[in-house]
A and B are shown apart, each in its own frame.
Chain A
């Protein structure tokens, strides 16, 4: 059977991708952030997962306000890189894993999660920046990817508790797949940030620290944070953190934190990277 071997929580700030694409990661501004990514890259390279499920939000790239799926899964064999308004990032095309993706889609729907299914979809920085952060610059991503999009652009996003339960359903679906695959799941977005309005630039280190601690301390309680609390305390776009609960719900209760990196600022955002080891736990 397939199994989930690790969870990765990762902010997906577009400027991080730009810094990598333009080769400015060694500047004084960016070096502290990127230095903190290196141990995680090493850890993931040793883990060698067979496939990654990346939970992220599309930023008006593949999806617009015309049709707004709350949860969507990409089942394609490949996903091109989106033009988000400044040309596509110069990163490799993202290869999919259609067999597992279709199995997930069927399992999740029959498990009462009404997924939208995407046969064709470009992917934007929400997905590619976490891959760049954890895999570095490459001509080919080291594993195929199954994108799962969560709406956080049109209020309301799904609740954190619903996202956590989706994660639990993803785990059941993965474990009912008959091939012996080792799967890593990413929850992306966050942490505290506000991109809009007179309050742009809000950062709440205390909130973020408590949130990171809560991922291992009491993830079920953490998943019950109301949307208004995220928006008020962690910034209007801090509500992207609901996507981390999908990742956390897919792991064992006893998953262990093996790496944490937190840095302010990455452009307007508090950027974090956490690895949760799911092996050898129940």
Chain B
């Protein structure tokens, strides 16, 4: 029943379906808790202790503590939820989108000002999403 889906070949995209829903529930419910100011304060003060309240896997915990935004999606994070961690950090959607797509904020913002990421070459296959070219690692 779960099997492969006709959207699995959309590159660079993590559809929050039943497979990810089963994987990511605890992670996303942790993010949901950040809607409360007192929880945000506690998470900021002692991230590890706050995360102990939720049944995260070690990889989910690592991804949260290291702010590995793409890694969170790979272990069941839902962007509508994980973005709440970014809000807690004072980051915006554009900051996180740049990090997930592997470019600097400036590069990402300029891409959006130029009309966004083109659908050309980015609709099929696992390895597209190229423009703009990722910056060289330092």
Measured CB to CB, the residues of A under 8 A from B are 14-15, 59-61, 64-66, 82-87, 153-156, 192, 194-207, 227-228, 231-233, 236-237, 264-265, 267-268, 270
**Known: A83-B37, A155-B16, A236-B15. Is A64-B119 also a contact (CB below 8 A)?**
no
Query: Is B25's CB under 8 angstroms from A195's CB?
Result: no
B34 within 8 A of A: yes
Q: How far is the CA of A64 from the CA of B29 in the complex (A)?
A: 7
CB nearest to B127 among chain A residues: A198
Q: List 14 A-B contacts (CB under 8 A).
A: A60-B31, A64-B28, A65-B81, A83-B36, A196-B100, A197-B101, A199-B13, A200-B12, A201-B117, A203-B115, A231-B15, A264-B116, A267-B94, A268-B116
Q: Which residues of B contact A231 (CB under 8 A)?
A: 7, 10, 13, 15
Contact of A265 among B81, B112, B118, B124 (CB under 8 A): B112
CB nearest to A206 among chain B residues: B119
Contact of A199 among B21, B80, B92, B129 (CB under 8 A): B129
Q: Which residues of A contact B40 (CB under 8 A)?
A: 85
**Known: A199-B117, A202-B116, A268-B112. Is A65-B21 also a contact (CB below 8 A)?**
yes
**Known: A153-B80, A155-B15, A194-B13. Is A264-B7 also a contact (CB below 8 A)?**
no
Q: How far apart are B116's CB and chain A's nearest CB, in angstroms? A: 3
Query: Is A198's CB under 8 angstroms from B84's CB?
Result: no
CB nearest to B15 among chain A residues: A155
CB nearest to A203 among chain B residues: B116
Contact of B117 among A60, A85, A87, A203 (CB under 8 A): A203
Q: Mark B93-122, 1 if CB is under 8 A from A, else 0.
A: 110011011100000100111011111001
Query: Is A85's CB under 8 angstroms from B87's CB?
Result: yes
Q: How many A-B residue pairs have CB under 8 A?
A: 154
Q: Which residues of A contact B98 (CB under 8 A)?
A: 200
Q: How far is the CA of A84 from the CA of B112 in the complex (A)?
A: 25
Query: Is B16's CB under 8 angstroms from A85's CB?
Result: no
**Known: A15-B92, A233-B123. Is A198-B7 also a contact (CB below 8 A)?**
no
Q: How far apart are A206's CB and chain B's nearest CB, in angstroms? A: 8
Q: Which residues of A contact B116 (CB under 8 A)?
A: 192, 201-203, 264-265, 268, 270
Q: How far apart are A120's CB and chain B's nearest CB, in angstroms? A: 15
Query: Is A59's CB under 8 angstroms from B80's CB?
Result: yes
CB nearest to A61 among chain B residues: B35
Query: Which residues from 1 to 37 on chain B have a C-beta closer than 8 Å to any C-beta of chain A?
Result: 6-7, 10-18, 21, 25, 28-29, 31-32, 34-37
B63 within 8 A of A: no
Q: Which residues of B contact A206 (CB under 8 A)?
A: 119
14 more CB-based (< 8 A) A-B contacts, given A198-B101, A199-B101, A202-B122: A65-B21, A84-B84, A85-B84, A153-B78, A196-B97, A197-B129, A199-B117, A199-B122, A200-B12, A203-B119, A204-B119, A206-B119, A231-B7, A237-B79
B83 within 8 A of A: yes
Q: Which residues of A contact B123 (CB under 8 A)?
A: 232-233
B70 within 8 A of A: yes
Listed residue (B7, B18, B40) with the most chain A CB atoms within 10 angstroms of its CB: B7
CB nearest to B112 among chain A residues: A265
Query: Is A265's CB under 8 angstroms from B119's CB?
Result: no
**Known: A155-B15, A228-B6, A232-B10. Is A84-B35 also a contact (CB below 8 A)?**
yes
Query: Is B29's CB under 8 angstroms from A65's CB?
Result: yes
Q: How far is the CA of A153 from the CA of B78 in the complex (A)?
A: 8
Q: How far apart are B78's CB and chain A's nearest CB, in angstroms? A: 7
B73 within 8 A of A: yes
